Amino acid sequence: MAMSALKTAFRGVLDANKTVSIGGLRSESSKAFYDFERSNASWSMAEKNQPWTDDELRVVLSDAPTRDNVLKHARAFKRGLGSIEQIYRWAVQPVNVVNSKRADNKFTQQVRRISKELGWLS
């Protein structure tokens, strides 16, 4: 589909949904684009299943855990979306949860250390 045809089709969707707030449409379109990217990843995942460096984790955890940032970091670090999401999930888990589920896991301990360093944890 040509870009002009895509733009026309998109405007048609907007026109057909005038009763929905722009914020609501923006939120739903963001979710749809994210879901599309999740199932049709178009970037290299050459670093998938490779260890993370402290600096890479600092970059990821320096941004808020939004869908846009997850996509940005997955592309930049050649990783899957789930990998970035997992970093954000482990960064906010209480110590007792980490200790009960993954006490000896090097990755979760590394994420916890960097997240604490960046002020995610008290």
Per-residue pLDDT of the chain (122 residues; tens, 9 = 90+): 788 888 898 888 888 888 888 888 888 888 888 888 888 888 888 888 899 999 999 999 999 999 999 999 999 999 999 999 999 999 998 888 888 888 889 999 999 999 999 998 75
Which structural domain, as residue segments, surrounds residue 2?
A: 1-40
Domain check: are 36 and 48 in the same one?
A: no
Please, are residues 120 and 61 in contact by the beta-carbon 8 Å criterion? yes
pTM of the full structure: 0.76
If one counts the domains in the chain, the total is 2
Domain check: are 50 and 20 in the same one?
A: no
Domain check: are 70 and 34 in the same one?
A: no
Domain check: are 78 and 115 in the same one?
A: yes
Domain check: are 51 and 32 in the same one?
A: no
Tokens matching residue 44: 């290299």
How many angstroms separate the most distant Cα atoms in the chain? 54
Ranges of H-type helices in the chain: 3-16, 22-39, 54-61, 67-77, 81-92, 95-102, 106-117
Half-sphere exposure of 19 (CA within 13 A, CB side): 0
Please, are residues 48 and 80 in contact by the beta-carbon 8 Å criterion? yes
